[in-house]
Amino acid sequence: MGTKRNKSIFLADDDEDDLMLFEDALREVSNSAELTTASDGVELINLMETTVPPPPDLIFLDLNMPRKNGFECLEQIRNTKAWEGIPIVIFSTTGQEEMVQQVHEKGASYFIRKPGSFPKLKQAIKQILDIDWAKHSWKPAPENFYYQY
């Protein structure tokens, strides 16, 4: 068996506390994940342009960010040939049905509402990391799209 490279995860979020919490939670649920963070959409796209290939295994994307928001990033990533197959998990404080529907239609792979507690955050991250994205269609049915606690 070949050595499996660590899972590469990108997270774009302008909230520093959320970034730190996410990093701590990720470290507790996986010791083989490498996290690269961006503080807004412009930084994320720059990262994508300078580091891909290889593409990240997964992108967590906040919706409300300055300069370039999550909707714009999602659209740009889905419209870029080299990146179109990367699973994108929307990670947002909003859980409004029309928002969830909108990002589903734009091609997001999954939607997680930012949890209010650390254990719930760990649980959500673990659940996402456990998905076999190769077998999982990147566009799940709407009822399997939104992670609820």
The pTM of the full predicted model, rounded to 2 decimals, is 0.88
Q: Pairing relation of β-strands 33-38 and 7-12? A: parallel
pLDDT, residue 148, reads: 58
**Please, which residues have CB within 8 angstroms of residue 82's CB and are 6 or more apart in sequence?**
52, 53, 55
Question: For residue 57, what are the CA distances in angstroms to 37, 67, 138?
Answer: 14, 25, 12
Residue 100, in any domain of the structure: yes
Count of all residues that appear for the chain in the document: 149
Based on the structure, what is the number of domains in the chain?
A: 1
pLDDT, residue 52, reads: 74
The domain of 61 spans 33-147
57-114 tens-digit pLDDT: 999 999 998 889 999 999 999 999 989 889 999 998 887 888 888 888 899 998 888 8
Domain with 127 in it: what CATH number?
3.40.50.2300
Backbone φ and ψ of 63, nearest 5°? -90, -45
Residue 17, in any domain of the structure: no
36-50 tens-digit pLDDT: 999 999 999 999 999
What is the C-alpha to C-alpha distance for residues 99 and 85, in angstroms, rounded to an integer?
A: 22
Q: Which residue has the tokens 């799940």?
A: 140
Question: For residue 64, what are the CA distances in angstroms to 68, 131, 141?
Answer: 9, 25, 24
Query: What single DSSP character describes residue 114?
Result: P
The H-or-E segment that residue 91 falls in is: strand 88-92
Residue 34 has pLDDT above 80, yes or no: yes
Residue 4, in any domain of the structure: no
User: Token pair for residue 15?
Assistant: 């909230």
Residue 21, in any domain of the structure: no
What is the C-alpha to C-alpha distance for residues 53 and 14, in angstroms, rounded to an integer?
A: 25
